[in-house]
Amino acid sequence: MDETQSGANATGYRVLARKYRPRTFPDLIGQDAMVRTLTNAFASGRIAQGFMLTGVRGQFTAVGDDDQAIYGWRGADVENLRQLTNDFSKLKVIKLEQNYRSTVRILRAANQVISNNPKLFEKKLWSEHGTGDLIQVTAAMSEEHEAESVVMKLQAHKFENRTYYKDYAILYRGNHQARILEQHLRNHKIPYTISGGQSFFDKAEIKDITSYLRLIANEDDDPAFIRAATTPKKGIGNTTLERLGEYASAHHMSLFAAAFEGAFQSEIGNKQLEDLLNFCQYINKLQERAVRDPAGDVLNDLLATIQYEAFLYDTEEQRAAEVKWANVLDFINWLTKKGEPNTDYGNEAEGKNLLELTQMVSLMSMLEGRENGEPDAVKLSTLHASKGLEFGHVFLIGCEEGILPHRESIDNDKIEEERRLMYVGITRAQKSLNISWCKKRKRAGEMEMCEPSRFIAEIPKDDLRHFGNPFNKDPEASKDFGKSKMANIRAMLEANK
């Protein structure tokens, strides 16, 4: 928020305060006029609300769901609802059990999972949306395989059912799980938006590097020019950039093109011109190499030339610099792999050069919906941030012991809120639900064996179809089943020719 906006908000607040001063909130509470109060999401608030807002007649409505109390870490307490029954003897409980969102099978799974928690108010969700599809549970070899599997299934489902990207959500316990998903979504040119955390590609250090790549792909990208020219500093100061901007604007050209204009060059000093031309000529060299040399070689040379690692350690605290540099290396490694042909999981990479990779990254940034209105994009979200939302088709990933439920919750014997988190994730789905877990996952640089979340075992077995789990033999999930699905997709492709 800038100072102007902050000032406007403060001014607006003062105007409202003066307007309503004759009837302040404490005054209203003491008056007989305030006889009914509505308190929403009661379990997420403070118990004092229940006493302060009742007025002299004690009439109020509290709306809450003890099965969705997932914010204990920020002070919310499901005991608020329990306390109501003690403090108000005439309390009338109205259960809203009909669900207008999900299929019967999804609700049955949610009901069965949450039934393992102690109940404040016994209830059972029901729906008129039909039985619905089986819930798919996939055991992936690793987080890399899990991400690839989710993206491939999403694409196949979208094609087969003629849906939109915005009909899909990928939900996870922690923000750190989003990075590998983002990479695989971009690999397949699938647009996405992210909530409940910052996108990996929106981090400052990643934007610093992509500014060079954007400029390589498009010399007319003025924002990329400014960021690349000044990060890290190269002797190109604000005065030089201001003069360059004025000249470019007056002559209707890009900043990059203006730098090579003789008329402009005569306006600035020799040292400023030398620094500016050194930068522009370096971009020219990168453009030549981008279509000729392996992407990994060009990228590593770029980092070395601009001394980006040293820049981070000079401008950040050591721990922050370490994290940012690790992010940059992950980004470079991802692009490098994209440029190398491989056959991981049966998928051949295209072996793209750096220019093609840069165009892909730039295209994805545009596809992610900077335009007005809701973008047609897959939603990535933490489970906490997804509460209150709904999606046609949900992928719930990382359902392993130590992640969901979280390791700290297991150690501290606080499984109930984690189970409510699983319940929230399940009930975000309207039509289909895919759950996945990894047999191995990298933690602190080491591969560890993983176990499926206990919550999966709490779902009725008849509602599940297992993939990749040797302990759950399911003929429907066999190779023959997979082949028949592919045959159906091929038939649809042929029909559309």
Please write the tens of the pLDDT for every residue from 167-201: 999 999 999 899 899 989 988 889 898 886 677 88
Q: Residue 203: which of 312, 80, 50 has the closest Cα?
A: 312
- The per-residue pLDDT of the chain, averaged, comes to 80
Q: Residue 77: which of 466, 414, 457 has the closest Cα?
A: 414
Highest mean pLDDT, choosing among 42-51, 55-64, 86-95, 279-288: 279-288
**H or E stretch covering 465:** strand 464-467
pLDDT of residue 33: 41
Rg (CA), the chain: 28
- 44-58, 67-81, 157-171, 466-480: the lowest-pLDDT one: 44-58
Residue 189 tokens read as 């040119």
With a pLDDT cut of 90, the percent of the chain lying above it is 43
CA 75 vs CA 38, 109, 406, 418: distances in Å: 21, 28, 18, 15
SS3 253: coil
Residue 380 tokens read as 């990535």
Alpha-carbon dihedral sign for residues 241, 242, 245, 246: negative
Q: pLDDT of 268-314, one tens digit each?
A: 889 999 999 999 999 999 999 988 888 889 999 999 999 999 999 99
Q: Residue 440: which of 139, 141, 150, 181 has the closest Cα?
A: 141
Residue 217 CA to residue 356 CA, distance in Å, equals 9
CA 307 vs CA 128, 224, 296: distances in Å: 62, 18, 16
Judged against a pLDDT cut of 90, whether residue 37 lies above it is answered with: no
Q: Are 441 and 143 in contact (CB under 8 A)?
A: yes
Mean pLDDT of 95-99: 80
Residue 223 preceded by cis peptide, ω within 30: no
Q: What is the DSSP string of 81-95?
A: HHHHHHH-TT-----
pLDDT of residue 422: 95
In the block, residue with structure tokens 């959500």: 169
pLDDT of residue 129: 84
CA 490 vs CA 151, 155, 476, 479: distances in Å: 19, 14, 20, 16
Residue 110 CA to residue 105 CA, distance in Å, equals 9
Judged against a pLDDT cut of 80, whether residue 64 lies above it is answered with: no
pLDDT of residue 137: 95
Residue 417 CA, chain-centre distance (Å), reads: 22
More confident residue, 341 or 488: 341
pLDDT of residue 489: 55
- 121-135, 344-358, 426-440: the lowest-pLDDT one: 344-358
Q: Where on the phi/psi map is residue 102: left (φ > 0), alpha (ψ -120 to 50), or beta?
A: beta
Beta partners for residue 446, in sequence order: 443
CA 279 vs CA 65, 70, 204, 292, 349: distances in Å: 59, 51, 21, 20, 33
pLDDT of residue 363: 61
pLDDT of residue 444: 75
Angle at 57 between CA 54 and CA 63, to 5 degrees: 40
Q: Residue 147: which of 476, 442, 425 has the closest Cα?
A: 442
Residue 354 CA to residue 331 CA, distance in Å, equals 13
Judged against a pLDDT cut of 90, whether residue 381 lies above it is answered with: yes
More confident residue, 251 or 496: 251
